Structure 1
Amino acid sequence: MIQFAANLTMLFNEFPFLDRFEQASKAGFKAVEFLFPYGIPAEDIKAKLDQYHLKLVLHNLPAGNWDGGERGIACLPDRIEEFKTGVAEAIRYAGILGVGQLNCLAGKVPAGADRAELHRTFVNNLRYAAAELKKAQLKLLVEPINQYDIPGFYLCSTQQAISILDEVGADNLFVQYDIYHAQRMEGELANTITKYLDRIGHMQLADNPGRNEPGTGEINYPFLFRFLEKIGYKGWVGCEYKPATDTLSGLSWMTKQLK
């Protein structure tokens, strides 16, 4: 049975953030994920997780000025110290919240940037982060993101991510494979997942086009769910999609999966 986690940044967002834990539990979820916890005291989030018996399976490292349009800073040469400070803060939150893996967003390529320098910065930052996370017994993830939704995002394909994993050489570094982003950039979902199954630490889903719930677009999710079970994927699948209407109305696709 596939294990689904509610992405509380995207789902139940008709409710204040700390109220979404209750809503996720009522909907049948046993686990949650979200982008960033840093604006809320970790102890308050932990209390909600405990109250509703939810497991936190993922959150991101700090990713710069999100509201200002930044989507990560890990590849930016002038933000290395900020990145390292963010790693420490993420580890502190992870220790309180009990999450076992953190996602690192590479960031967008600045105009006129030296691609070789961006690559060196990203690799060195990942080596640093992986080593720090390993001390805390945490996994580090990197996520390829499609360049239609985020033009200029540095890490945009599974193969690029695997090449970087090989170069970094850390045994606690894995790919976060987002089915929606992969479909937009490269397709070939089943074969890619099979090829890199042991390098994938977490998965996320949304349908395409629209980034809404499964069943609203072109991706054959019934096949993919059966396929993931067949090949023995053991991780979580985060539901990181925009409900086409409201969250509860959009959950009918997974009723059988959650039971």
Structure 2
Amino acid sequence: MKRSEFLKNSSMLVGGTLLGGTAVAGSASNEQNAKVANQTFKLDYAPHQGMFSATAGKNFLDEIKYMHDLGFRSIEDNGMPSRTADEQKKIGDLLAKLGMRMGVFVVPKGGNGANSLAAGKQEFIDIFLKGCKESVEIAKRCNAKWATVVPGDYARKLPIGVQTANVVEALKRGAEIFEPHGLTMVLEPLSDTPDLFLRFTDQTYEICKAVGSPSVKILYDAYHQQKNEGNLINLMDLCWSEIAYIQVGDNPGRKEPTTGEVNYKNVFKWLHEKGYKGVVGMEHGMSKSGKEGELALVKAYREVDSF
């Protein structure tokens, strides 16, 4: 699944599903999951809307409560900017009440391949900075600390060094907006298409160092980097000072851990030993549908968390 598909799915879930509906009680899924209710994980895994809707229903607030009951202590919501201000605040208030954290959302126009910061065009920079300003207000309402940015596609008519400098200068402008509010844009190198400018961990590390701001760091998505470069633990270690956020998904397939080739138990053990206290975003699909899929999802995370 590409980021665009995640965003599309998030937007579809947003409309009319935050306040409507009620959670389903007394199901076999509830009974089985109740055995580990409120047992937290060693790492802070963050599901997103729809992962537990077969049991909790389509009301996102009910689903968040159910996630909490299962032991999760954070959520992600790429499509948060598509929600109304009232919805954003209700989510933020519930998370605060439950002692949960809000993970990433995507900066408006911050993941658009056509809006390439590498091109150095003022029109693109203006769109990006507008998205940064909007993100500050969104973050206030939902208590977010991180927002995802993808700098867009290559500007292939320009030398790579010039493109990199253009990205750095645009990110410095965005950092000026984020820093006063304690908000961090996390740059995500992706594997969706070779047209994307930002693809590798060391490349993102170099850019973060050049920007030199606590508000510009790396979102390390192990699914994308398994496809792009492999050598996950070693490259995370080399670039560790600039990594502020982790996302996962197994490969091939972009489903939950244990369904592909990545040894997530070892990866998570390393993160734990490294002292990582941040969010681990569950930005992936599920290998099975319905309540069966929800049970398999929780079982997989209990397994890889048992290091």
Tell me if both proteins adopt one fold, taking TM over 0.5 as the criterion: yes
Greater relative contact order structure (CA < 8 Å, 6+ sep): 1
2:103 alignment partner, SS class: strand
Equivalent in the alignment of 1:3: 44
Q: Where does the alignment leave 5 or more consecutive residues of structure 1 unmatched?
A: none
Distance 1:64 1:102 in 2: 9
1:202 alignment partner, SS class: strand
Equivalent in the alignment of 1:215: 258
Task: Describe how 1:87-98 pairs up with structure 2 within 5 A.
Answer: 87-98=132-143
Question: How much identity, in percent, do the aligned residues show?
Answer: 25
State the TM-score, normalized to the length of structure 2. Answer: 0.74
> How many Å apart are 1:131 and its aligned residue?
1.4
Pair 1:31-2:74 in alignment? yes
Pair 1:150-2:196 in alignment? no
Greater radius of gyration (CA): 2
Contact between 1:32 and 1:55, CA under 8 Å: does it hold in 2?
Answer: yes
Greater Cα shift, 71-80 or 90-99: 71-80
Q: Flag the 1:224–1:137 CA change in 2: closer, same or farther, 3 A.
A: same
Pair 1:138-2:183 in alignment? yes
Q: How many residues matched?
A: 251
Equivalent in the alignment of 1:253: 300
Distance 1:16 1:86 in 2: 28
Contact between 1:144 and 1:158, CA under 8 Å: does it hold in 2?
Answer: yes
Q: What is the letter of the counterpart of residue 84 of structure 1?
A: L
Q: Flag the 1:255–1:33 CA change in 2: closer, same or farther, 3 A.
A: same
Equivalent in the alignment of 1:18: 60
Q: Flag the 1:183–1:71 CA change in 2: closer, same or farther, 3 A.
A: farther
Q: Flag the 1:42–1:75 CA change in 2: closer, same or farther, 3 A.
A: farther
1:176 alignment partner, SS class: strand
1:38 alignment partner, SS class: helix
Task: Describe how 1:155-174 pairs up with structure 2 within 5 A.
Answer: 155-174=198-217
Distance 1:150 1:34 in 2: 23
Partner of residue 107 from structure 1, selected from 127, 152, 160: 152
Distance 2:177 2:171 in 1: 10
CA-based RMSD of the aligned residues comes to 2.5
Task: Describe how 1:50-69 pairs up with structure 2 within 5 A.
Answer: 50-51=93-94, 53=98, 54-63=100-109
Q: Report the structure, 1 or 2, having the larger helix content.
A: 2
Q: Where does the alignment leave 5 or more consecutive residues of structure 2 unmatched?
A: 1-41
2:272 alignment partner, SS class: helix
